[in-house]
Structure 1
Amino acid sequence: MIPTPDLSHLNSKDFRNIYEPAEDTFLLLDALEQDQDELRALHPSICLELGSGSGCVTTFLGSLLKPSLAYMVTTDINPHAAIATMATGRKNGISIDTVETSLVQGLLPRMRHSIDVLCFNPPYAVTPSSEIAGNGIEVSWAGGIDGREVIDATLPFVKELLSEKGIFYLLLVSDNKPDEVVRLLQEDGFNAHICLQRLAGREKQLIVKVTRRT
């Protein structure tokens, strides 16, 4: 069993500015751990997390892949999250490079077809569209209409980022119409299916696993 990353360097003041790991985070960790043999056999060169928050997911993935020399990189538009992600990596002995940017902005074309493991726990809460702008903690949850606006804006880039052997893990909730998201990914030429799901209170959380068709 891979331990949850040590976040003792972060406190309640930090979590006023960045997303604190919760049930959705841990479901994503469980999906990665469930696939640990597959991920290690992949021998990934580059792993990318979009919207890294505290850095918990990428740090966990880096620990899972040890002693792999995979390059761990994250993005987050929130400057507090960028700082926290690097600090979490250091605390747990994982080297992480963080790009302070919105989603994939600035990564293409340089990282085209280069990402072997892609993770995204997106802002999925149903909110007014106006709430998805900004660069503070609100962008970690505000998803706009159906909680899908940020998700839908990101999906077209998956084909550009993912390597031929790459795997994409996307967290969704039932409000996001996950069956529709799976269908959109399949229509875009991917294998996509729900690989793990769990109830968190009244909210159903799901992980969609995506690979290229061979």
Structure 2
Amino acid sequence: MPFRIAQIRLVSSHPEVYEPCDDSFALVDALLADRNHLLEHHPTLCLEVGCGSGYIITSLALILGQEAPGVHYIATDTNPHAVRVTSETLEAHGVHAELINTDIALGLEKRLAGLVDVMVVNPPYVPTPEDEVGREGIASSWAGGENGRSVIDRILPIADNLLSDKGWLYLVTLTCNNPSEICLQMRERGYASRIVVQRSTEEESLHVIKFWRYLDAQEDGKQMVTPNKTAPARGVMESLFSQFPLLSSWRSNSNHSS
């Protein structure tokens, strides 16, 4: 039987590549929770920005599986070691993606503009000094600059350019990233949003937020946030938290590797 998600024992590794952790598991669980919607969405092009070990793009390909034939998967990473490790992880699971060593989607803007139906991003979100952002090696996977937003704020307009009219963005954020402000910024670009997964540990509080264009009225039926660009930031998050169920149960590492 094909795997439902990538298996930790088959995920390749390298000292300079970020290994699957709580944020990776939360994003994959968000995709699992949204699987029926993803299948009904009929994506033709899926993109991961910052593929790292390949755990997430491999899991997405397995989640959609044979029920979504003809999907083209692309994954990018600024770390060349991550590109190699992702290739090994994909091969170990018998799935394929086009891999590109680049910063976010540099060089792909024209080729992919308006074509990406599903975009998944576990960005560098840890607050760090700005001079740590974009360094070579594993530090590039977590160093997010002031408030952890330096890379996230670069990704949002790129996502807007690449997403198709029905495109969905799944983004991992921390509370300290001010997700309410991120939602407001995306509203100004014409996107509704909802929290798919929220999880807390002793060290951090994670939110996986899904964004989609207002014109995609079929997204999740009643689970749409009513557009209101004048809503205060606090009201946005209260709306997100009150209207949609939060999936708060943690999966243990053994569950992900079984």
TM superposition shift of 1:158: 1.5
Which residue of 2 is the match for residue 152 of structure 1? 153
Letter in 2 for 1:50: V
Equivalences, count: 212
TM superposition shift of 1:133: 2.4
Flag structure 2 segments of 5+ consecutive residues without an equivalent: 216-258
What pairs up with 1:1-214 in 2 under 5 angstroms? 3-9=4-10, 14-67=13-66, 68-214=69-215
Distance 1:92 1:121 in 2: 21
CA RMSD of aligned residues (A): 1.5
Letter in 1 for 2:179: P
TM superposition shift of 1:9: 4.8
What's the TM-score once normalised by structure 2's chain length?
Answer: 0.79
Distance 1:61 1:76 in 2: 17
Distance 1:126 1:157 in 2: 21
TM superposition shift of 1:69: 1.9
SS for the counterpart of 2:30 is helix
Q: Is the 8 A contact 1:31 1:196 kept in 2?
A: yes
Flag structure 1 segments of 5+ consecutive residues without an equivalent: none
State the Cα deviation string for residues 35-65 of structure 1 (Å, max 9, x = none).
Answer: 1011011111110000000010010010011
SS for the counterpart of 1:195 is strand
Distance 1:87 1:7 in 2: 13
State the Cα deviation string for residues 55-101 of structure 1 (Å, max 9, x = none).
Answer: 10010010011112211110001011000111111100111111000
SS for the counterpart of 1:185 is helix
CA shift in 2, pair 1:9/1:34, >3 Å: closer
Distance 1:202 1:76 in 2: 26
TM superposition shift of 1:200: 2.2
- In the TM superposition, structure 1's runs of 4+ consecutive aligned residues that sit over 2 Å from their partners are 6-11
Letter in 2 for 1:209: K
Larger strand fraction of residues = 1
Q: Is the 8 A contact 1:6 1:91 kept in 2?
A: no
Distance 1:166 1:64 in 2: 18
SS for the counterpart of 1:66 is helix
SS for the counterpart of 2:212 is strand
Letter in 2 for 1:27: A
Q: Is the 8 A contact 1:74 1:97 kept in 2?
A: yes
Letter in 2 for 1:172: T
Segment drifting more, 151-160 vs 44-53: 151-160
Q: Is the 8 A contact 1:7 1:88 kept in 2?
A: no
Letter in 2 for 1:49: E
Distance 2:55 2:101 in 1: 17
